[in-house]
Structures are given as C-alpha cells and as structure tokens.
Structure 1
Amino acid sequence: MCRHLAYLGPEAPLGRYLVEPAHSLFRQSWAPRRQRYGTVNADGFGVGWYSPDDPVPARYRRAGPIWADLSFADLARVVRSGAVLAAVRDATLAGADAEAAAAPFAADRWLFSHNGAIAGWPDSAAPLVPALPPVELLSLQARTDSAFVWALVLHLLRCGEEPERALGETVRRFARAAPASRLNLLLTDGTTVTATAWGDTLWYRTEPGRSTVVASEPYDDDPLWQEVPDRTVLTASRAGVLLAPLEDPATVPAVGPARAEAPPSPKEPCR
C-alpha cells in the first residue's frame, strides 16, 4: 500500500516527474501497475521539495486523493526543484489524522515516507515504545504506523547515525517485533536519497552525474529502470546508486543507539 518517489537532478517543474509521465505517481493513485497490497491510493498525498537557497524543505499535503486537488495541479505546473519526495497514501487503518498522516513527514532538513504496513499494529509496536524518549513519543505527527516508524528513524538520525544505518536498524527492529511487516522506507535531505526494499517493490533510474529517481514503481517504460532486490538498502545521489543487503534480524542483534531495553537517562538522550 502507498506509492512514493524521490528525485534528485536538474531543477524542473514538479509535474514533470509527478504528473506528466504515462504511469506517474499521480496515475498510481488509482492505477498502480506493480502494487502488491491495496488497489487505490486515495487516503491522502503529499509532496516535499527543496529550494537551492534553503536546506529546510517545503511541503504540500492533503487528506484526500491527489486527483481531486486542483490546487496541486497548479502547484505542480509552476513550482520547480532539483530535489523532491512525494507519496500517495493507502491507509493501513481508518483514522482521523487527516493530512498529518500523509507523507512526506518532515523534521530538520529531512523528508520521509513509508510504503508498507506494520503487522499487528499497534500492539506489535509496543516493545519498541521505550526506544523513544517520552517527549518524542508525545510529539508524534499522527497516530499511525508510518508516523511511529518515522519517529524512530528521526531519533537515530538526531543521535548521529548515518541515514542507511538509521533506516536499516529501524527495519530490523520492526522485523523482529512484527515479522510480517512491509518496510519500504524512503528518506532524503535534498542531496542524497536512502531507501529500503523490504516486502514491496522498489525501483531506481539513474543517469550518473545528472539525475537519479527512486520509486515504488517505474513511471514509464524507459529501459534505464532497475528493480532493487528485496532485503536491500539503497543509497543514491545525483552521481549514482549503491545497493547493500539488509541482514536477517534473526541473526544480527541490535547494537549501539538502537537498543530499546530501557528509556534513556537525562544525561544520555541517545541510545
């Protein structure tokens, strides 16, 4: 469920990558070609983008389907950016969080999206609650599985973890707590993109030195698109893409700041 996309490259109108292609994210909201779970992504959408002179991204999010928002059509036609993250949402469970539940989530210089679902939510996530300081738990942007995943990723980023480590460790922890979860995560700071393939489709298209797109599924039939193997973490920039396997959580214990056995002491905000 859900579809998402991140773009790094020459500055262009948002619509060039989100609306105009034959199988764009806009069309994937009602006719995805490779979505394995769910059929219509009409429970909200969002787009985040970066300006060359500001490291903090802007966002536009709504609770309804992307095709029903005429303001987005205007925005996508005229707003230009060289770094974008966008998503269309199929909710795991019904809720009242409206656009607060729509990706991309944002904090500091980061944009984030989760394509998938936490199996057994919310009960299955209870063992991971101690991994967050109380103030961060109380500051969740929405009462959804994706918002909780984002809170855990953001906590690791603010503790100094590299993006690939923050995503990979978060995936492994949820895989231990709720093994049937689907955990395709997508993160950008406007310069790099980090993503995981865990239970759903992920593709990339790169022209090294010029542009890179990472997406749940291709938006056209260009032969440059490559599928990412399941259980993989991807790191990308305009220069190209690197892939690395994600270890089986049954054989790799959690280490460092990802441990969740006890809440932090006042002098130790990170684990």
Structure 2
Amino acid sequence: MCRWLVYSGTPVLLCDVLYRPVPSLIDQSLRSRMGVETTNGDGFGIGWYTDDIATPAIFRDTGPAWNNRNLREIADHVRSPLFFAHIRSSTGTAVQQTNCHPFRHGRWMWMHNGVVAGFDRLRRELCMAVDPALFSRIEGTTDSEVMFYLALTFGLDEDPPGAVARMAGLVERLGHDHGIEFPLQMTVATSNGERVWVFRYSSRRESRTLFYSSSVESLRALHPDVAWLRGLSADTRLVVSEPLGDLPGAWNELPESSYGVIPPDGELLAGFDVAMTAH
C-alpha cells in the first residue's frame, strides 16, 4: 500500500512537514510502522497550491523519496498553505511517473492508499463509466486514477462526499457482480484548493489507518512551551496515514467509514457509506 499526508493552514515550507518531524513521512518511505509494507519506494509525489494560482503544481518521480535531491530542494524552498504528499508502494501496476500520486485535473488533486480488488477484471467496466469527455485525461494504469475520474464523473465539483460515495458504490457493485467479496479498500484525500475532503472506507470495515491532528488551540494548551505552535492559525490541520513526530495528544484516528472536511463547515467529521449506482 502507500503512505500520505495533507497539510492545510498557515503557509509553511514543505520541508517543515515532510522532513523535520521524527518520524517524518520521508522516514516512513523507508520504515513505515503501520503500513502493510515497511518500505514505500515505488515512487512519490507532492502537489501544492499557492494563493495566486488556482491549479496546483505537481512533482512526481519513480524513485524512492528518501534520497531524492530534487524533492529536498523543492521542499526547502516552496511555501504553501495547502499541499499533498504521497509515497507509493505499488499493488501491481507499473512503477512510472503517470502512476505516482497525487493526480490532478483542473483545480482538483486526488491521492489514495488502498486497492480495488480484482482491478484487472473490473478495469474495463469501471473505465466505461468515466465521462467520455474525461476519459482521455487518464494517463496511467492505476485503480487510484480511475477512481479519481469516476468521482469527477459523478459530480466531484458540486458534491465531493456524494461523488466519492457513488464512485465507491460502483466499485462495490461491479466487484460483487464478479464474485469479489471485498472489492474496495481506501483512504482518499481530494482538494479543490479551498477545502480538503478525506475519506476512510473499506468493504471489510477494516480500513487502512488514517489520523487527523488535534486543534491548534488544544495543542497549545497541552504544550505551551512549543514555540512553533504559536505561529499556526486556528484552522491549521494535518491528515496522515500514520502519525508524524512524537508530540503527545497530537493525533486522533479518523473513525471507520467516515469522512472529514478541512477547514470544516460545521462539523469536522461525518459518517460515510457507499451509494450504489446503476451505471
């Protein structure tokens, strides 16, 4: 599987999040503690938004993240209020740039940890459900990218939770039609540059790990002597496949079959279930 993180809030240098915590996401690319695989070396990617450009920048490569000089150079010099980072462990598709996350379409980014079981059997039918106007934009061969374009087809622009639910429902229905008992395993992050939506769901109800950071106010109360917390806005949040650093009280597990919105419009978290579709 893979490891990923989302940062949203006060603009920071990417290196402050990617490299400086111990353990960091870069550490996890070599020594993951909670992933299915210990090593996630089948490529990586980062994507970031800036205040004056609507579409995100993307940098992806096929080598491991832990020794990539270009990644370190970018991270030391790019400051962003919203960025994604992903380290890949392939579930069978080729190690190539077009299969590395995050994926981008217009202002949207998407990344995924998990698998569509039996994707080789389901791929044609899933791709046939993608809007023909979007189909030619699929560059790689992963289940993750097809999931993204299905979500776009099903209304990601207007209703992200509903679109992801319809995408997941289609995967479930087609999987069951092909005799696959547990078709879907996913933690997903997607953003339009204004908000981030994160999802944790699996057919087994035994999803891969996902954690969100405690509120900045709570962390300041717990750790009044930690200087870097003072410069963060109240809406700053991180979502990670496994915790970064060792700050007590910093991390909370996203509940099974749920999704979150950052910054929240009301409640941070809500329940998530698939919407079976007839497509």
Is residue 2:119 matched to residue 1:121?
yes
TM-score, normalised to structure 1, is 0.85
The superposition leaves residues 116-169 of structure 1 with CA deviations (integer Å, 9 ceiling, x where unpaired) of 0110112034433331134533431201111111111222246x4311212222
Q: Select 1:142's aligned residue among 115, 132, 140.
A: 140
Q: Select 2:270's aligned residue among 203, 228, 244.
A: 244
Query: Is the Cα contact below 8 Å between 1:210 and 1:239 reproduced in 2?
Result: no
User: What is the SS of the residue equivalent to 1:20?
Assistant: coil
The superposition leaves residues 167-186 of structure 1 with CA deviations (integer Å, 9 ceiling, x where unpaired) of 22222322333324211111
**CA deviation after TM superposition for structure 1 residue 79, in Å:** 0.8
Runs of 4+ in 1 over 4 A off after TM superposition: 238-241
**CA deviation after TM superposition for structure 1 residue 21, in Å:** 0.6
Output the CA distance in 1 between the equivalents of 2:265 and 2:130: 35
User: What amino acid does structure 1 have at the position aligned with 2:39?
Assistant: V
Counterpart residue number, 1:133: 131
User: What is the SS of the residue equivalent to 1:64?
Assistant: coil
The sequence identity of aligned pairs, in percent, is 30
- Cα distance, 1:225–1:77 mapped onto 2, change above 3 Å: same
| 5+ long unaligned stretches in structure 1 | 261-271
TM-score, normalised to structure 2, is 0.83
Counterpart residue number, 2:67: 68
Counterpart residue number, 1:221: 246
The superposition leaves residues 22-41 of structure 1 with CA deviations (integer Å, 9 ceiling, x where unpaired) of 02111111111211x22211
Query: Is the Cα contact below 8 Å between 1:30 and 1:39 reproduced in 2?
Result: yes
Output the CA distance in 1 between the equivalents of 2:21 and 2:174: 39
Output the CA distance in 1 between the equivalents of 2:196 and 2:261: 6
User: What is the SS of the residue equivalent to 1:122?
Assistant: helix
User: What amino acid does structure 1 have at the position aligned with 2:126?
Assistant: L
- 1:107-186 aligned at under 5 Å gives the runs 107-157=105-155, 160-178=157-175, 179-186=182-189
Q: Select 2:101's aligned residue among 100, 103, 117.
A: 103
**CA deviation after TM superposition for structure 1 residue 239, in Å:** 7.7
Query: Is the Cα contact below 8 Å between 2:168 and 2:184 reproduced in 1?
Result: no
User: What is the SS of the residue equivalent to 1:153?
Assistant: helix
Q: Select 2:192's aligned residue among 179, 189, 193.
A: 189
- Cα distance, 1:205–1:239 mapped onto 2, change above 3 Å: farther
| 5+ long unaligned stretches in structure 2 | 176-181, 202-206, 217-233
> May I ask how many residue pairs the two structures share in their alignment?
250
- Aligned CA-pair RMSD: 2.0
Query: Is the Cα contact below 8 Å between 1:168 and 1:233 reproduced in 2?
Result: no
Query: Is the Cα contact below 8 Å between 1:105 and 1:111 reproduced in 2?
Result: yes
Output the CA distance in 1 between the equivalents of 2:94 and 2:17: 30
Q: Select 2:258's aligned residue among 208, 215, 232.
A: 232
Query: Is the Cα contact below 8 Å between 1:56 and 1:109 reproduced in 2?
Result: yes
User: What is the SS of the residue equivalent to 1:90?
Assistant: coil
Query: Is the Cα contact below 8 Å between 2:2 and 2:86 reproduced in 1?
Result: yes
